[in-house]
Amino acid sequence: MNAFFVGIGGMGMSGLAKILHNAGFSVAGSDRNLDGDYCRRLREIGVKIYLQDGNGPQLFMQETGLKADDFKVVKSTAVENQVPDILTAERLGIEQIMRSDLLAMMFNEKKGIAIGGTAGKTTTTGLIAWILKYGGKEPSCAVGGIISGLDTNAFRGTGTHFVIEADESDGSIVKYRPWLSLVTNISRDHKSLPELHELFAGFFDNTSEFRLVCAQDEQAMQLKKACSKPVQTYGFTPDADWQAENIHIDNDAACFDVRGTSFTVKMPGEHNVLNSLAAIAAANMCGMDLAEIAEALLAFPGMKRRYEKVGTAAGVTVIDDFAHNP
């Protein structure tokens, strides 16, 4: 699909623009900040980015020879109706679609793996995508962070799987039709707990094959109990379907065993053991054996700005561990 992205410099928008561009479509966009990191990354691969002044869609048409019905304008919930490029699209009769609808179109055509939850979904999504790619599965991926070893937040693979970070904050999570759905945890965030349970219940209902929840999270386990379909669990307790045992954590890594296989991830913290455990279960469901998953996990370089060691000066180690939870 040819597309013009309004607000192309955003994390989610830039990822989909990159996937479409690499698939051979005509892609361009506009943004208020042309100097942002994601705009820079897109320009480096040949995506044209315009000022968000209302002229971009028409210039895109002139430079590509496309007509108004040859492409769509993609916008997100962060883009107001009065943005000049949206007004231009309306005047020219260009069809507009939401970013979440475009992602759902791409995702639902594949054997989709969707990761939802209040916290941990960026790292877990990156882990699953990395492991599958390392194992030769060649997945596609759209994640809300930069995977360090791949230096990207999105890529288009030739394989059958598409791994995404599914957002519940705007309700778009119910648009996806996953083959495998995963919920890391549930806590009051953008929405109330009853609203979140309703959204995640729909998320599970729309899943065709596998469902996973964290056994350590009470709210996620309530989701499992309310679901009429099979749901597997991962955690530290013996009743979890995927249990981490013999756990050892230091300042740089975590080591643990799963079903007789030893794993090491170069990220500390019990939360990263759980993130890794979720990824191990998902990758195994995709047909990888535990030994090759362990090799891939050991090689995982982490996510940018997730306990990322920036450097050391005067004996002080600086760690960038940005995340947000309102």
Give me the tens of pLDDT residue by residue for the chain, a chain 326 residues long. 999 999 999 999 999 999 999 999 999 999 999 999 999 999 999 999 999 999 999 999 999 999 999 999 999 988 999 999 999 999 999 999 999 999 999 999 999 999 999 999 999 999 999 999 999 999 999 999 999 989 999 999 999 999 999 988 888 899 999 999 999 999 987 789 999 999 999 999 999 999 999 999 999 999 999 999 999 999 999 999 999 999 999 989 999 999 999 999 999 999 999 999 999 999 999 999 999 999 999 999 999 988 888 899 999 999 888 766 54
* Token duo for residue 44: 């480096």
DSSP letter string over 9-37?
A: TSHHHHHHHHHHHHTT--EEEEES-TTSH
According to the model, what pLDDT value does residue 325 have? 57
* Token duo for residue 45: 């691969």
* Token duo for residue 2: 């040819």
What is the DSSP code (8-state) at residue 245? E
According to the model, what pLDDT value does residue 72 have? 98
User: If we measure between CA atoms, which residue out of 277, 279, 283, 282 comes closest to residue 259?
Assistant: 277
According to the model, what pLDDT value does residue 54 have? 96
Burial of 54 (0-12, 13-18, 19+ CB in 10 A): middle
Q: Is 260 helix (H, G, I), strand (E, B) or coil?
A: coil
Q: From the centroid of its chain, how far is CA 199?
A: 18
What span, in angstroms and rounded, lies between the C-alpha atoms of 133 and 138? 5
According to the model, what pLDDT value does residue 188 have? 86
Identify the structural domains of the chain with CATH numbers, from first to last: 3-98 (3.40.50.720), 110-299 (3.40.1190.10)
DSSP letter string over 73-130?
A: EEE-TTS-TTSHHHHHHHHHT--EEEHHHHHHHHHHTSEEEEEESSSSHHHHHHHHHH
According to the model, what pLDDT value does residue 215 have? 98
What span, in angstroms and rounded, lies between the C-alpha atoms of 201 and 186? 12
Whether the Cβ atoms of residue 305 and residue 321 lie closer than 8 Å to each other: yes
According to the model, what pLDDT value does residue 168 have? 87
N- to C-terminal Cα separation, the chain = 35
What span, in angstroms and rounded, lies between the C-alpha atoms of 297 and 278? 12
